[in-house]
Amino acid sequence: MDRIALRGALGALASNHLWTWQYRTSDLFSALPTAHVDLHPVQAVKALDDAQLDALLDDGDFVSAVASQVAALDQTMETAVVSPDIAYFSPEFGISEVVPQYSGGLGILAGDHLKSASDLGTSLAGVGLFYRHGFFRQYIEDGQQAEHIGTYDPTDFGCVDTGIVVEVPIADRLVSAKVWRFAVGRVPLLLLDTDLPVNSAEDRAITDRLYSGDQLHRLEQELVLGVGGARAVTAMGWKPGVYHSNEGHAGFLALTLLDQARAPGGATTLARAVELVKPRVLFTTHTPVPAGIDRFPRSLVDPHLRPWCEAWGDSIDALAALGEDPHDGTEVFNMAAFCLHVASRANGVSKLHGEVSRGLFAMVPGGSAITSVTNGVHARTWVSPCLQDLFDTRLGDGWDRGVETAWSNIDGVSADAITECRAVTRAPLAELLADRADITLDPDALVIGFARRFATYKRANLLLRHPDALAALLADDDRPVHFVFAGKAHPADVPGKSLLADIVAYGHTPAANQRFSFLPDYDIAVARAMYFGCDVWLNNPVRPREASGTSGEKAALNGVLNCSILDGWWAEMSDGRNGWDIPTSDAVVDDVRDDDESASTLALLVEIAAEFHADGRGHPSAAWVDRMRHNWRTLGPLVTAARMVADYERTLYGPMLATQHR
């Protein structure tokens, strides 16, 4: 290999995000002299100078590792998706911490969906937006969340220009959106970007940031995502049989499909067009909280719907009626209701959430037929390298796809092998705590993690309701525990921010005993460090508001035991021994319920600490390691995104494709 060939090989590896779940490839990038934690490998490779390339060329092991990984990538790409059967639309995709195009669970789930589809060879492509300013980064100033906004260039993430520009009707004007192509293994992801010179300054800013701005900005983003995304799919020459809207934000994709159905010679009425579109539309709802659903006032949405109605010769009320949920009255356009009206199938993201959604949308056509596919997580993205090696050698093929017989081999894995990994994988968390929280982690501590968005229903501050019990737990030197919190509050969420400030402040009190820490700037990297380094994963939302939750699934795959309210995924997967259930209070007054559940959680944590330290301070007891094995044996087959994507194929994609003559 010469310099040009090495740069080319590294560039090829960097621009296909297969490296985000192949740690041997990402290790190569970490070894580059230009590597930096915030830098995408594409940029690190670009920054290499000739002398640095020469030094790398002198390292025979490095060069042969690069060559063999390029060969493996080429082989994978022989079966790349060329013309997808399924177009998966999402407002955010969480692929890597160095691609800051996600805010939280919805995006991480979408990223894991694409990665598993790539692994399984599913004929699927993603469709989303490219946000020039991504999502904010968090730091703490005077005990409060402060926000930093970066600026990103798509080519720095390996995005390739497709040469396609689509036009999106927005009110009475046409906005142009460029279509970038981003590679996630075999799966292509199209990202639309309105930051083009042909657009006005306001329109260039439509795709500026994820979830910011006012309702109009949000509506315009959703029009670009849905209408523009579906036009981009057509412009690519793709003819997917399934348009999957991950949450209602992408629901306007149906406007493009309806428009295609109303073309000359096609459907003569709106009702008929809806019937033609329905077999191809799948809607996944992600929240049982009405405030989490996009509901636009008719006065805001009508000017955007009117041009379509005029072109089709339909009344605005007929189209707007498709976005009606009788709960909201007639003056609201509800995106979830719209999706239900235009989709032939809809699902929630856990069994409990499916049930709650059937109730929530009972008054909308199709609402009572909502099924469920429980969310899962992409194993090779989220399991520590140490455990991946252990599982590869001891469990055998298929553990990462949730194969039950592979996971049953966990019983033969020794306690020593398990605890050795635990010691190795704790190091990154201890480093983060030292760097960002100025805390030295006691190696003997049972580490309890809590990382999620600071949405109020997730109740990050639940334990603070009983300060004496909490202080006693934190003061116990025989059975030391250490709490680690992380998470961002939406910039406009005042109660969420105040909750975050309470957690930060408590950590500095004497009662916290240096054992209650907040780690700033929660992202994929912080999340991984926490799954790799914690012992217990705490989840105490108000039941049943956590549609699924996935952080606990990522924890479980790393042997971190869940202590959780019976909500979301945990409600169906807990067996009473693979973690701990926090009893749900039946008090009708919110304050009383929170007091009760706070007390039960603290009492449970005392028992948990006792079980961990039962065979001596600071070392997981035999009973604990047994519980870890039981956790893996029972949850390994259930929590992977491979299981999830296979469920989508079997129960939704497959049957939908089968109804079509294509």
Ligand X SMILES: *Cc1c(COP(=O)(O)O)cnc(C)c1O
Write out the residues near ligand X by the rule CB under 6 A: 104-105, 108, 452, 523-524, 527, 549-551, 554
Residue 125: CB minimum distance to ligand X, A: 23
* Residues forming beta bridges with residue 187, ordered by sequence position: 184
Residue 142: both structure tokens together:
């005077």
Q: Quick one: 152 or 382, whose CB is closer to ligand X?
A: 382
Q: Quick one: 186 or 488, whose CB is closer to ligand X?
A: 488
Residue 571: CB minimum distance to ligand X, A: 14
Close Cβ partners of 52 (under 8 Å, ≥ 6 residues apart): 32, 33, 34
Residue 324: CB minimum distance to ligand X, A: 30
Q: Quick one: 333 or 454, whose CB is closer to ligand X?
A: 454
Instruction: Determine contact, residues 294/335, Cβ cutoff 8 Å.
Output: yes
Q: Quick one: 346 or 641, whose CB is closer to ligand X?
A: 641
Q: Quick one: 103 or 221, whose CB is closer to ligand X?
A: 103
Residue 281: CB minimum distance to ligand X, A: 25
CA gyration radius for the chain? 25
Q: Quick one: 220 or 546, whose CB is closer to ligand X?
A: 546
Q: Quick one: 138 or 344, whose CB is closer to ligand X?
A: 138
Instruction: Determine contact, residues 35/29, Cβ cutoff 8 Å.
Output: yes
Residue 551: CB minimum distance to ligand X, A: 3
Residue 601: CB minimum distance to ligand X, A: 16
Rounded Cα distance between 39 and 588, Å, is 50
Q: Quick one: 105 or 507, whose CB is closer to ligand X?
A: 105
Rounded Cα distance between 584 and 597, Å, is 6
Rounded Cα distance between 604 and 585, Å, is 14
Rounded Cα distance between 291 and 183, Å, is 34
Q: Quick one: 550 or 634, whose CB is closer to ligand X?
A: 550
* Residues forming beta bridges with residue 371, ordered by sequence position: 347
Q: Rounded to 5 degrees, what are φ and ψ at 254?
A: -65, -25
Residue 540: CB minimum distance to ligand X, A: 11
Going by the DSSP 8-state scheme, the letter that residue 16 receives in this structure is B
- 496: closest CA among 147, 91, 148? 147
Residue 490: CB minimum distance to ligand X, A: 13
Residue 257: CB minimum distance to ligand X, A: 30
Rounded Cα distance between 272 and 266, Å, is 9
Q: What 3-state class would DSSP assign to 128?
A: strand
Residue 376: CB minimum distance to ligand X, A: 11
Rounded Cα distance between 243 and 246, Å, is 10
Q: What is the dihedral of CA 150, 154, 159, 162, to 10 degrees?
A: 150
Q: Quick one: 255 or 529, whose CB is closer to ligand X?
A: 529
Rounded Cα distance between 190 and 243, Å, is 14
Instruction: Determine contact, residues 497/457, Cβ cutoff 8 Å.
Output: no
Residue 259: CB minimum distance to ligand X, A: 35
Q: Quick one: 157 or 238, whose CB is closer to ligand X?
A: 157
DSSP count for the chain of H helices, then E strands: 28, 19
Residue 110: CB minimum distance to ligand X, A: 11
> Residues 390, 393, 399, CA angle at the centre, nearest 5°?
80
Residue 344: both structure tokens together:
């032939």
Residue 547: CB minimum distance to ligand X, A: 8
- 21: closest CA among 382, 376, 406? 382
Close Cβ partners of 552 (under 8 Å, ≥ 6 residues apart): 537, 539, 562, 564, 569, 570
First to last CA, the chain: 46
Rounded Cα distance between 421 and 383, Å, is 11
- 619: closest CA among 485, 473, 442, 472? 442
* Residues forming beta bridges with residue 125, ordered by sequence position: 87
Q: Quick one: 111 or 367, whose CB is closer to ligand X?
A: 111
Q: Quick one: 236 or 387, whose CB is closer to ligand X?
A: 387
